[in-house]
Amino acid sequence: MTLAPATSHSSRRRHDREIIALAVPAFGALVAEPLFVLVDSAIVGHLGTPQLAGLGVAAALLTTAVSIFVFLAYATTAAVARRVGAGDLASAIRQGMDGIWLALLLGVAVIAVTLPSASWLVGIFGASDTAAPYATTYLRISSLGIPAMLIVMAATGVLRGLQDTRTPLYVAIGGFAANGALNAGLVYGAGLGIAGSAWGTVIAQFGMAVAYLIVVVRGARRHGASLRPDATGIRASAQAGVPLLVRTLSLRAVLMIATAVAARLGDTDIAAHQIILSLWGLMAFALDAIAIAGQAIIGRYLGANDTQGAREACRRMVQWGIASGVVLGALIVLARPLFIPLFTGDGAVQDTLIPALLVVALSQPIAGVVFVLDGVLMGAGDGRYLAWAMLITLTVFAPVALLVPTIGGGLTALWWAMTLMMAVRMVTLWLRTRSGKWIVTGATR
């Protein structure tokens, strides 16, 4: 990959320190996020099966509604980091505030849609008659916390752009602890049942949003940045986010198609597929942490007009991505006798799972490159290319995956199709980074 001339040992060490300092706390914060749902599941599960089933449906809807707006974090990180690199902290924080105001507006809009349609949405997901009332209750209450969730996303992007991933880690840990305590107290202590779990999560999310806002407001006052909403800035944040929204929706479509195909293969295959998806998601956190470091570092270098530093950092992060992928793949292979029994004792599921899991292990170095280059191009603000690249990937993947039930091969063939998807992503991202067209310097792209 022709990204930069060979770098010196001291330069590599400098990049390594930057990557580690940003990626390790980012990984901790990423892992803390899904723990919210795990805590809710553990507490609600003791209320009964219908309640737990209802939580599962509502949580899936809530996660989908929030995850499509992940561009609030990504676009904000890149924009803020550029201004940090240019030495204009006031403008950086002002840009971050535009993202936060956009998050608030989007959150209110999602509430306006979700509250009146909660029962209908639950019905679309096929919840049973016994689980549907609980799902509807949880979804309606939890949707009130969506503005806070989106503010947390945008504010996380602000701090990442400011090269701070430690504060998001501390806030995530605090939010996780508060969520657990509130859920236990409201569900059992106050006797509110599943509604108590929903209220606990809403309160915890707003607590996290307030913590972030305190940090951002202090920074704004310190550097003389305005906190008022600016229509032009909010519109610019939205425009920067649209291509990343297209990218995210295309990626979600890939995962939905894969799950739909696995379901057509039979109960054994879909069960094994869900286990692999859980593991795939966990490994994605490790690789995404490096990508987050990439967003912040690349944006800063480009803002400082340091093209050589951006190229060197990109090269080093690709090396990190490949190495991380190799390690993760080896862990899957070596540890599979230990973790597979934790997920299922069904021999048929295990037999279906193992060969597909080996395909996933082989694909991890590819995934490592994909995550890193994705982060690099996000940090460069190259969202338009990322959108087109993901649409191309979806176009290639969809027909191949949909043919799996016809051509045979079962779940293993489906995960070979997923590997093809990652390979296509790697090629499209590699071609872009090799071209150098992503390198646009200055405080704004």
**CA dist., res. 207 & res. 181, Å (int):** 13
Which tokens sit at 324?
């991380």
Quote the pLDDT of residue 1: 45
Quote the pLDDT of residue 99: 94
Which tokens sit at 307?
């093209």
Beta carbons of 22 and 165 less than 8 angstroms apart: yes
Beta carbons of 94 and 232 less than 8 angstroms apart: no
Beta carbons of 80 and 300 less than 8 angstroms apart: no
What is the full per-residue pLDDT of the chain (445 aa) written as tens digits? 444 455 567 788 888 899 999 999 998 888 777 777 777 777 887 888 888 888 888 887 888 888 889 999 999 999 999 999 999 999 999 999 999 999 999 999 999 999 999 999 888 876 778 888 998 999 999 999 999 999 999 999 999 999 999 999 999 999 989 999 999 999 988 889 999 999 999 999 999 999 999 999 999 999 999 899 999 999 989 998 999 999 999 998 998 898 888 888 887 888 888 788 878 888 888 899 999 999 999 999 999 999 999 999 999 999 999 999 999 999 999 988 887 887 777 788 888 889 999 999 999 999 999 999 999 999 999 999 999 999 999 999 999 999 999 988 899 999 999 999 999 999 999 999 999 999 999 988 8
Which tokens sit at 300?
């800063």
Distance from CA of residue 436 to its chain's centroid?
A: 26
As separate numbers, helices (DSSP H) first and strands (DSSP E) second, the chain gives 14, 0
Which tokens sit at 198?
């929903």
**CA dist., res. 206 & res. 98, Å (int):** 19
Which tokens sit at 286?
């490790």
Task: Look at residues 324, 331, 323, 322 and name the one whose alpha carbon lies nearest to residue 358.
Answer: 331
Q: Taking each helix axis from N to C terminus, what angle separates 49-67 and 231-265, rounded to the nearest 10 degrees?
A: 130
Quote the pLDDT of residue 116: 92
DSSP string, 313-351: HHHHHHHHHHHHHHHHHHHHHHHHHHHHHHH---HHHHH
Quote the pLDDT of residue 344: 72
> Can you give the C-alpha Rg of the chain in angstroms?
22
Taking CA atoms, 13 is separated from 7, 161, 318, 338, 373, in Å, by 10, 22, 15, 35, 20
With H, G, I as helix, E, B as strand and everything else as coil, classify residue 67.
helix
**CA dist., res. 131 & res. 337, Å (int):** 35
Distance from CA of residue 208 to its chain's centroid?
A: 18
Integer distance in angstroms from the first to the last C-alpha of the chain? 24
Looking only at Cα atoms, what is the longest distance across the chain? 65
Quote the pLDDT of residue 91: 92
CA 388, 394, 397, 399 torsion-angle sign: negative
**CA dist., res. 116 & res. 391, Å (int):** 32
**CA dist., res. 165 & res. 24, Å (int):** 8
Task: Look at residues 298, 240, 237, 288 and name the one whose alpha carbon lies nearest to residue 439.
Answer: 298
Quote the pLDDT of residue 8: 67
**CA dist., res. 444 & res. 433, Å (int):** 19
Beta carbons of 25 and 165 less than 8 angstroms apart: yes
pTM for the whole thing? 0.88
